Amino acid sequence: MTDSTLQGHNRQTPEVSKKDIDRGDRLRVGRAVVVDRYGKWARINHWITAISLILLALTGLSLFHPSLYWLTALFGGGQITRMIHPWIGVVLFFSFLGLFIRFFRLNLPAREDAQWAARIGDVLKGNEEKLPEVGKYNAGQKFVFWAMSILIVILIVSGLGVWERYFSQYLTVEQMRVAVLVHAIAAVAIICVWIIHVYAAFWVAGTLRAMTRGNVSGGWAWRHHRKWLRALAAYGKRDDQTK
């Protein structure tokens, strides 16, 4: 994709605004267009969250059922696993909080989200041209974001309720049983959401590059997030290397 392609396309397009872009987004125009999608700190924040979630899932599953107890060997045994599990949860909560504060505005519902979701068949078939133009995040990505947000809150609240060393004295036995059940259900749900997130990252070629190198090709942005690319072209930061 070249800059002339970006400027020259004349099909009817949705209105864009500065609200469609993040402060770290930038166009780099040369022989081809490269788009900065995530800055260094956003990527570090993301990977801390991802690693915390994986560790939390492994330690939690090891305590969930006797058949999975062997997973505690990865962390030095049952006692250590039980001790570090809630602290990993605290790290996850505050790490995701950073992502939430940074990106919640871009994940608010938009008019095109319902149209995108209604054409989920075309999404799965890769018929991108039949989909509405979307901003930095499509409806599927927004679902993952808000599902993660809700489930992490449920996990931290229910987890504190069963953290016996510090909070057991504030709950009755019946309340703790409910908290354990809610915690387990939320944990299974968030693992499922995480699997969807990871699968989509590998399924859509070029997506992982955004979270490893911080940028995507102009062609990737044009195909998957055209409204976001238009907003960047109109209002975003720009490095023009053709001059």
Identify the CATH number of the domain in which residue 187 sits.
Answer: 1.20.950.20
How many domains does the chain contain in total? 2
Residue at 45 is within a domain: no
Phi and psi at 238, nearest 5°, equal -150, 130
Side chain identity, residue 192: C
Same domain, 162 and 243: no
Residue at 185 is within a domain: yes
Same domain, 78 and 159: yes
The catalytic residue positions are 197
| In contact, 103 and 142? CB cutoff 8 Å | no
Residue at 44 is within a domain: no
Same domain, 123 and 229: no
Q: What is the pLDDT of residue 172?
A: 87
Q: Which residues of the chain have pLDDT under 50?
A: 2-12
Q: What is the pLDDT of residue 82?
A: 93
Whole domain around residue 192: which residue ranges? 50-207
Same domain, 109 and 57: yes
The interaxial angle of helices 78-103 and 40-64, nearest 10 deg, is 140
Bridge partners (DSSP) of residue 34 are 28, 217
Q: What is the pLDDT of residue 13?
A: 64
**Residue among 188, 211, 91, 92 nearest 141 (CA):** 211
Q: What is the pLDDT of residue 240?
A: 80
Same domain, 150 and 239: no
Same domain, 106 and 199: yes
Same domain, 218 and 196: no
Residue at 17 is within a domain: no
Residue at 79 is within a domain: yes
Q: What is the pLDDT of residue 127?
A: 85
Same domain, 171 and 226: no
Same domain, 31 and 145: no
Residue at 196 is within a domain: yes
243 vs 3: CA distance, rounded Å:
12
Same domain, 184 and 226: no
Residue at 63 is within a domain: yes
Q: What is the pLDDT of residue 18?
A: 87
